[in-house]
A and B are shown apart, each in its own frame.
Chain A
Amino acid sequence: MIYREAGDFKTSYRSDGQTFPIRLDRWGYYAVLAVAFGVIPFVIDDYWANAVFVPFLIYAIAAIGLNILTGYAGQVSLGTGGFMAVGAYAVYKLMTAFPDISIVIHILLAGGITAAVGVLFGLPSLRIKGFYLAVATLAAQFFLVWLFNKVPWFYNNSASGQITAPTRTVLDQAVTGPTASAPAKYLICLVLAVAVAWMARNLTRGTIGRKWMAIRDMDIAAEIIGVNPLAAKLSAFAVSSFFIGIAGALLFAVYLGAAEVGEAFGINKSFLVLFMIIIGGLGSIFGSFAGAAFLVLLPVLLKNTLVGGFGWPTDLAAHIELMVVGALIVTFLIVEPHGLARLWRLAKDKLRLWPFPH
């Protein structure tokens, strides 16, 4: 009744091609942005920033990155953790080598370095596909973790191999290091997450995104209609790794503050981000956010309800949490194999017909 296209007239190609064609959707989108930028920074405290919003936004960036590669271009990757490690170590080396340059530039450069590494490990994708490519990217994961453990130059020869983020500022506000305030941390992640989502959305609905999807749907047919698989696959690896590198840099510098590669960027991280996009929905920007929210926020919520609310023992709560999250993943995949994004789309379709479904 309210939620519909009817009456929302488009008078230009530009407005016809917009991301949110329905007025209510647009309002919702602007409302979310307004709350995210205008309300949350003023009310956020350390717990909300460090335990909820910062990890959610960082994982959302990583999930968008992997979604470009796996969801849009159809190249399965298990190297996400390794690529995040490249971003983290690149930003660490940059911020300790050039302390006077803005951290934002360092984070973007770290993304660029990760993109280069991603392209390098993307080369095998021209020859191998599917599960075999997954194994090749798995090799990247293990190789990169081994490399950052093995070569002391990457961690500035510290005795324990730990890297620690020094304090760096944006507009005189510390965003990394121990003195960083909750709003500052939240805002830098939010700005980058929105920028990444906006870029990803616009890339995927343009020429380059259509090439990726053509490759994903049938690579031989795509080649016949004139898509160059080399350019399409490698650009997917580059863009995806760029975003994942940014996520890794933020994860280390803003969120954790100190990291060691095996623990923070191990194979578990690759699977975590892969699960995010599978649960959220392959080939969907909204799905990346939904998947990240599901896997980051649900455990925190469960922990706070079970331990903080009911006063259960911590070990029991931790085990229940694993079981509940696991059961929900299985349920979701059985009920809706295309993820949360598909559920969202179905809900919207139903809403459009409401209240006269026939």
Chain B
Amino acid sequence: MKTTVPALAAAVMMAASPVMADLVVPNMSYRTGPYAANGIPYADGFSDYFTLLNERDGGIGGQLIQVPECETAYNTEKGVECYESLKSQNPLVLNPLSTGITYQLIPKASVDDIVLYTPGYGRTSAKNGEVFRWVFNAPANYWDGASVAVSHILEQEGGDLSGKKIALVYHNSAYGKEPIRTLQGLSEKHGFELVELPVDAPGQEQKSQWLQIRREKPDYVIMYAWGVMNQVAIQEAVNIRFPMDKFVGIWWSGSENDVTPAGAGADGYKSLTFHGVGQDYPLYDDLRTHVLDAGKAAGAGDQMGNVIYSRGVYAAVVIAEAIAKAQELAGTSEIDGAQLRDGFEALEITPERMAELGLPDFGQPIALSCQNHGGDGLGRIQQWNAGAGEWSLITDWIEPDAEILQPLVDEDSAAYAQEAGIEPGCN
């Protein structure tokens, strides 16, 4: 110990010197491990959009955006290391793409004045901005997703779910457990029976769960999976010949990388989404000209157009809009974390603005405030066409059931406020 610690210490010290930067928006990514199949496209999309802004527009408000990357491998201990090393670079906002790491960072980021932006994941009750001042999860969260999925099933069944059976296959972690309360509330309201089937991380072994589905014969299966668990689950569903159009995944269980391994059998599989699919948006032309063809794409540059890639782009779009708003409010282009939070709270993205950005009809309108950090939570259903190898949107925007969700958000955020000693309020 006597010799190793100082030697290691000296070497780490040399390497961990902070980088002075313009506006720092780190990319906490995972390109390795069992979740890499989904982590890679997201990280690529996120980085590529900021590269585009830097190349095409010279950054935001004249300030270049730096996107330092840190590999978390979806692991909370590496997440701590990443957070600490990124913190020294004065980041404005973090997007860890992991519910576990988000839970860990919520108290820390609030003390260190760093915004957490967790679109479509993280702690759902962070929607209540009066308690979670530094956390934003617009445009949609896990409970919205569960409610939208049930609304879609309700519509399929002609508005009546009494006596039906819905199974929830979920990743046995904070992420997968989030929707359980919502679904329990909805099952009481609509009279369907809920079967909960946890799958232990990382999710390569699911034979027994699908055997149980075969035995219980649920009418529908809702799935909250991520990474390798997606591919395995869809393959298992194909193996037991579960009807694919009755199998609805959350938005994290619906990318090309998840369905292609199951081949033609996955045809008709449905999943939620909170943004458009495919590459028929003008923004993609810009991405191709300024980033891909210029050889500046992140990663291998082969993920463009993937659903999860688009989600990474979408997250970057919202952050960039919030930065622009914050610069406008602060009257300076060199903003800090607190000013970015104000920018997020005043954020308004209209359909016209989305069209201007080159993404017409891509996402829902977003209007945030101090009270509402989570947006409206609309979702759409996309369906996989294995023959054409593409997703297509089959519904319009579906609204979540606020009657069930709002009390749950209030209850959970109040519990957190009490636990952490936070006085809810807007100043």
Contact = CB atoms under 8 A, between A and B. Distances in A.
Interface string A253-267: 001111110111010
A179 B17 CA distance: 23
Contacts of B85: 47, 51, 304, 308
Contact of A266 (B15, B125, B201): B201
Interface residues of A, number: 53
A63 B202 CA distance: 26
A349 interface: no
A263 B173 contact: yes
Interface string B24-55: 00000101100010001000000000000000
Contacts of A159: 124-125, 177-178, 180-181, 408, 412
A164 interface: yes
Interface string B161-193: 000000000001111011011000000000000
What's the dominant secondary structure at chain A's contact region? helix
Contacts of B212: none
A97 B372 CA distance: 32
A158 B181 CA distance: 10
Nearest to B83: A50
B104 A258 contact: yes
A161 B108 contact: no
B87 interface: yes
B88 interface: yes
Nearest to B39: A315
Nearest to A177: B107
B5 A263 contact: no
A263 B84 contact: no
Interface of A: 28, 32, 46-47, 50-52, 55, 96, 149, 158-162, 164, 166-167, 177-179, 255-260, 262-264, 266, 286, 289-290, 293-294, 297-298, 300-301, 303-305, 307-309, 313-315, 317-319, 322
30 contacts: A28-B2, A46-B84, A50-B81, A149-B172, A149-B198, A160-B99, A160-B103, A160-B178, A161-B173, A164-B107, A167-B421, A178-B112, A255-B77, A255-B80, A256-B80, A258-B100, A260-B173, A262-B201, A263-B76, A263-B173, A297-B8, A298-B8, A304-B15, A304-B16, A305-B15, A308-B17, A309-B15, A315-B31, A315-B40, A318-B71
Question: 6 closest A-B pairs (Cβ-Cβ)?
Answer: A315-B31, A304-B15, A160-B174, A178-B107, A314-B71, A308-B15
Given A159-B408, A164-B107, 7 more contacts: A47-B87, A50-B84, A52-B9, A160-B103, A166-B420, A260-B174, A313-B31
